[in-house]
Amino acid sequence: MLPLVALVGRPNVGKSTLFNALTRTRDALVHDQPGVTRDRNYGVCRPEGQRAFAVVDTGGIAGVDEGLAGATARQARAAAEEADLVLFVVDGREGASALDDDILRWLRKAARPTVLVVNKTDGIDARAAMAEFARYGFGDVIAISSAHRMGIDDLLDDIQERL
């Protein structure tokens, strides 16, 4: 069985865009509207000369734990808990939000190996964007742009080391 990498983060940070960049598909629905990906979506990443792994895209985790948003949050938590590695995806343009803080809290409880992935760093100061999340205390922080395929190779190297 392939190792499993879960993409977790609040709506609209670019999880589905990253899923597509990793799996080189357009299977995941990418949308301007937050919370478009409702279900778990599985794919496979086969990096050249590296170990293949399964990827699961999860719906954005909304703060209110009820209705559809609550079901989506539960799916995301379940995906994170079964994953070998979690990519905690955040928005480098918007910086840390209360929702990111919430997700961080339950990710700590889930206690899975986690990499902090700062997305949307195209056209901005990536170092400053990463510094916004320094208080989260991650040893492993990678700046990427899913939309422009920047930093994806570094991320893949990091994933390989962690699997």
Q: Over the Cα atoms of the chain, what is R_g?
A: 14
11 is in the binding site of which of ligand GDP, Mg ion, none (Cβ under 5 to 8 A by kind)? ligand GDP
Alpha carbons 91 and 130: distance in angstroms, whole number: 10
Per-residue exposure over 49-82, b if at least 16 CB sit within 10 Å of its own CB, e if not? eeeebbbbbbbbbbeeeeeebeebbebbbebbee
CB 160 within 8 Å of CB 50: yes
Cα–Cα distance measured from residue 120 to residue 58, given in angstroms and rounded to the nearest whole number: 18
Residue with smallest beta-carbon separation from ligand GDP: 14
| Binding to Mg ion, residues 27-66 (CB under 5 A) | 37
Build a one-symbol-per-residue string for 84-123: x at contacts with ligand GDP by CB under 6 A, - elsewhere. Answer: -----------------------------------xx-x-
Contact code string over 53-82 relative to ligand GDP, x by CB under 6 A: -------x----------------------
Nearer to ligand GDP, 122 or 140 (CB): 122
Q: In what order do the strands lie in the sheet with 85-91?
A: 41-45, 53-57, 4-8, 85-91, 114-119, 141-143
Which of 5, 17, 56, 117 forms a contact with ligand GDP (CB under 6 A)?
17
Query: Pick from 4, 78, 147, 163: which binds ligand GDP (CB under 6 A)?
Result: 147
13 annotated to bind ligand? yes
- Residues 6 or more apart whose Cβ sits within 8 Å of residue 138: 88, 114, 115, 116
14 binds ligand GDP (CB under 6 A): yes
Any binding-site annotation on 60?
yes
Residues placed in the known binding site = 9-16, 57-61, 119-122
The footprint of Mg ion (CB under 5 A) covers 15-16, 37
